[in-house]
Amino acid sequence: MKKLIEYLEKNNIPYDDDVIARFDAYRSGILQWNEFVNITAIRDPREFTLKHFVDSAACILLTEYNKAEKIIDIGTGGGFPGVPLAILSPEKEFILVDSLKKRLKIIDELCESIGIKNIKTLHGRAEDFGRNKEYREKYDFCVSRAVANFSTLCEYCLPFVKVGGYMASYKGAGGESELKEATRAISLLGGKFERWEKTPLDKDGDEHKIALVKKVKKTESKYPRKSGTPSKDPLK
């Protein structure tokens, strides 16, 4: 956990022994389950800490994140960035969405055993939940990491965000060209691109940043389109 502790201390992010113990237990649990279920390609514990924990924690430095109370993680996979953020922000409420039930069951089991109490998981497709009044435009902040191209991702995420809230998308190389192609989609869905923020992995030529989009108006009721359409036919 050395890299994580260094990052937290460097950025004055509060933590204690219990926080580090939860991170350690979650990493151990995911790597154990990874022997049976494909959760992550990263198997080295030190690389896991850097690429899953430290990278996920980058949102903590955003003013927009710190003002948020209700946060939704779309396409959470192995619980990233949702679980690390929930460990560091126990006062916030998190919903983790994924289409693979098996992964969510693992997250539920690990969170219960570790004592992470501010996470709920939701099994299904983002397009379906995004049309559901129970979830639509109910969140202050939406995060997503390694899920889809920017245009598709905006159609997944922005319907969940309240007007005045934000969507934060972790992007690697090619993110800026994706953004250019998604300019119209962002506008159609009620968003406005604000800025890029660097993450701890954005160095040594390994481009990795967070794109921050503000929700400036309500998303029209025709979005998101039916399941599968945003990925097959991205808005242009």
Q: Is 155 in contact with 224 (CB distance < 8 Å)?
A: yes
What angle is formed at CA 121 by the lines to CA 75 and CA 80, rounded to 5 degrees?
45
pTM to 2 decimal places: 0.95
Q: What CA–CA distance (Å, rounded) separates 208 from 117?
A: 30
Nearest to 58 by CA among 166, 143, 120: 143
Question: Tell me, what CATH number does 94's domain have?
Answer: 3.40.50.150
| Mean pLDDT value of segment 50-56 | 93
Cα end-to-end distance, the chain, whole Å: 42
C-alpha neighbours within 13 Å on the C-beta side of residue 224: 32
In a domain, 90, yes or no: yes
Asked whether the beta carbons of 83 and 108 are under 8 A apart, the reply is: no
pLDDT tens sequence across 74-96 = 999 999 999 999 999 999 999 99
pLDDT band at 173 (very low <50, low <70, confident <90, very high): confident
Q: What percent of the chain has pLDDT over 90?
A: 89
The answer to whether residue 218 sits within a structural domain is yes
Average pLDDT score over the chain: 94
30 occurs within a structural domain:
no
Mean pLDDT of 151-173: 95
198: containing domain: 57-231
Q: Tell whether 82 is covered by a domain.
A: yes
Q: Residue 192 in contact with residue 186, Cβ under 8 Å? A: yes
In-domain check, residue 52: no
The answer to whether residue 49 is domain-embedded is no
Q: Is residue 187 very low, low, confident or very high in pLDDT (cuts 50, 70, 90)?
A: very high
Report pLDDT for 176.
87
As a whole number of angstroms, the distance between CA 4 and CA 37 comes to 25
Q: How many domains does the chain have?
A: 1
Closest by Cα among 120, 151, 116, 158 to 137: 158
Whether 31 is in a domain gets the answer no
